[in-house]
Amino acid sequence: MDTFQQYLVEKTSYIEQHLLPALEQQGVPTQLYESMKYSLMAGGKRLRPMLVLAVLEALDKPMERGVPFAVALEMIHTYSLIHDDLPAMDDDDLRRGKPTNHKVFGEATAILAGDALLTRAFAYIAEAYQERSDVAPITTVKLIAELGKRAGATGMVGGQMADIEGEGKQLDLEQLEFIHRHKTGDLLVAALRGGGYLAEASEAQMDALTRYGVCIGLAFQIQDDILNVEGDAAELGKAVGSDADREKATYPLLLGLAESKDRLTALIAEAKAALADAGIEHSALSPLADYVQNRNK
Amino acid sequence: MDTFQQYLVEKTSYIEQHLLPALEQQGVPTQLYESMKYSLMAGGKRLRPMLVLAVLEALDKPMERGVPFAVALEMIHTYSLIHDDLPAMDDDDLRRGKPTNHKVFGEATAILAGDALLTRAFAYIAEAYQERSDVAPITTVKLIAELGKRAGATGMVGGQMADIEGEGKQLDLEQLEFIHRHKTGDLLVAALRGGGYLAEASEAQMDALTRYGVCIGLAFQIQDDILNVEGDAAELGKAVGSDADREKATYPLLLGLAESKDRLTALIAEAKAALADAGIEHSALSPLADYVQNRNK
């Protein structure tokens, strides 16, 4: 295992230790708690939390300062997957090789578990940072504003809406990029900018982190589309070729596989250039960009 | 029109002026924006926002300080109605005499509009109070923690979960009260406590506001149940007798109509006693308690 693989394993384990304690159990109906826990603990790359921690490290700040924000991002990512999988949305039965939330707990519970995770994300940021003397209340307020903007109608939810509206239609590249910039990219940007706020990054560093986030967000989605064509179903935990079956617009469909891969490479190069501008090119954010490109699930 | 009726009309209009400007439109898919707007502007009593403003008035603080929090509460109340009406939940076709959100926009959009309203509520509090010099960032953080706690798994969402789990079952009074305390009461309590934070209420006043909120929350639900038996369908904008049709546990079913009414009266008296304890019995919160009892819709 190389050093970066080791880094991923350690950070994933560190993040996962902090997820469950951030949920409330006392006073929560059992079925609701179990449903929230099921999806929050169902694995995954934990990429958004990892980005928060990596920004703090890159800017020589204590990593644990990022934990509440990192955990909140993972709650929001998880809620979005639960709702996206619902029959009225993408109607998926499997997620990461396991039955989707509504398949296990029923639709009503899945909707409520999503709602509760989304709500808890904001509450947890507000609660947890009140107890830390190294994070000023105005920073907490900025984290919440940033997360709300990137996760809501102008961000992730807007991207999902555009994705649903676009199904079965001929989309052009601009429309496809709108979807991915928001559906996937905005929450990654929130992770990076939130990390920046917590690390007291300069304006120039914030801009560079944002640029890095936008690039790896699009790159992430292009690689997702490529994996949906070329990937291994067992690794992915979902069917290969499902995008084509649904007549979903993808980068390979619009640009061809070869050009999609070129574009992916260019985006990763630009992400790294942004890191260099911020003087943090020797941090874990650099191999994290490669990882977005090279992952096989 | 008596003075309090006048008060309700004025405050409702004041609140409604501030709702739409709090939504973002730029960069939001049209369908999503229209769906959010449809439910947010579909009328209703605006009770939660009104409570925020009334607390500020009662404690001699400028009412407009409460507006962002009041608007956020109405967004959260609205999202909860959209999701509760979904086919997988209560499966309602009508709400306030109009087709429910998913009937107009489809299920996927209704789910996303709810998610976006919930997200916007927290973002709006964080954004709007950053611009007010009379609200300290730590107060904003407390508002968000309070709202998150009362709206999430330990609060409103937990109450809705318990309500769904209880359908078709024989519930006892304790279980029924758990549902209503959380499903309806917690957001009213959040309105009152949030108003208290914004008005720099003393600890004793916060306790009194909480007690008042718990009482009118239960009272509200008892009156809801009574109206479902005795009300006028045209006034209510929904069918009368629907609880009985669904074999839903209600106060009239468990206690009988007469005892339900006695209980309602006792709760309103206790709510007013709490106001007297806080020295704010001559505020609009007093007729607001009567209004909860006497409303016909």
- Predicted confidence (pLDDT) per residue in B111-129, tens digit: 999 999 999 999 999 999 9
Q: Is ipTM > 0.85 here?
A: yes
* C-alpha–C-alpha distance, residues B182 and B184, integer Å: 6
Nearest to A157 by CA among A115, A192, A198: A115
Residue in the block written with tokens 């929001």: A76
Q: Residues near A285 by Cβ (< 8 Å), separated by ≥ 6? A: A51, A54, A55, A58, A212, A275
Mean pLDDT to the nearest integer, B9-35: 97
Average pLDDT over residues A102-128: 98
List, in order, residues 6 or more apart from A49 with CB less than 8 Å away. Answer: A15, A66, A70, A71, A73, A74, A191
pLDDT of residue B175 exceeding 70: yes
A213 close to A191: Cβ distance less than 8 angstroms: yes
> Contact B145/A126, CB-based, under 8 Å?
yes
The whole-number pLDDT of residue A151 equals 98
* CA–CA distances in Å: residue B21 to residues A11, A187, B25, B296: 42, 25, 9, 30
State whether residue B162 sits within 8 Å of chain A by CB.
Answer: yes
Q: Report the amino acid identity of residue A236.
A: L
| Coil, strand or helix at B95 | strand
Q: Which residue of B has its CA nearest to A33?
A: B153
Q: Is the pLDDT of residue B234 over 70?
A: no
CB proximity A20 to B under 8 Å? no
CA distance A86 to A151: 18
Residues of A in contact with B160 (CB under 8 A): 112
Helical (H) or strand (E) element with B94: strand B94-95
**Rounded Cα gap, residues B29 and B189, in angstroms:** 34
Tokens representing A235 are: 């690794």
Out of A124, A136, A157, name the one closest to residue B112 (CB): A157
CB atoms near residue B258 (< 10 Å): 9
The chain A residue lying nearest B82, using CA atoms, is A111
Contact B136, A137 (CB under 8 A): yes
Q: Give the pLDDT score at B233.
A: 67
Predicted confidence band at A240 (pLDDT cuts at 50, 70, 90)?
low
Rounded CA separation B160/B144 (Å): 21
CA distance A20 to B26: 36
Residue B1: pLDDT over 60:
no
Alpha-carbon span A53 to B262, nearest angstrom: 57
Which pair of structure tokens corresponds to residue A35? 């449903």
pLDDT tops 90 at residue B243: no
What pLDDT, on the 0 to 100 scale, is given for residue A248?
78
**What phi-psi label fits residue A115: left (phi over 0), alpha (psi between -120 and 50 degrees) or beta?**
alpha
Element (DSSP H or E) covering residue A94: strand A94-95
**How many structural domains are present in chain B?**
1
The predicted pLDDT at position A247 comes to 72
As given in the structure block, the two tokens for residue A56 are: 């703090």
Q: Is B28 on the interface with A (CB under 8 A)?
A: yes
* CATH number (domain holding residue A257): 1.10.600.10
In chain B, which residues have their Cβ closer than 8 Å to the Cβ of A29?
158, 161-162, 165
The rounded distance, in Å, linking the Cα atoms of B21 and B43 is 16
Closest-CA distance, B120 to chain A, in angstroms, reads 6
Touching B: A residues 268-297, CB under 8 Å? none
Coil, helix or strand for A178? helix
A204 touches chain B (CB under 8 A): no
Check residue B283 and report its DSSP letter.
S
Which structural domain range is residue A100 located in? 3-294
Confidence of residue A235 (pLDDT cuts 50, 70, 90): low
Across the interface, whether the CB atoms of A122 and B122 are under 8 A apart is answered: yes
Chain B positions touching A131 (Cβ under 8 A) are none
How close B102 comes to chain A (CA, Å)? 11
Please, which pLDDT band fits residue A249 given cuts at 50, 70 and 90?
A: confident
Rounded Cα distance, B146 and B194, in Å:
7
Q: Can you give the pLDDT at residue B167?
A: 86
Contact B153 A31 (CB under 8 A): no
- Interchain CB distance below 8 Å, B123 and A145: yes
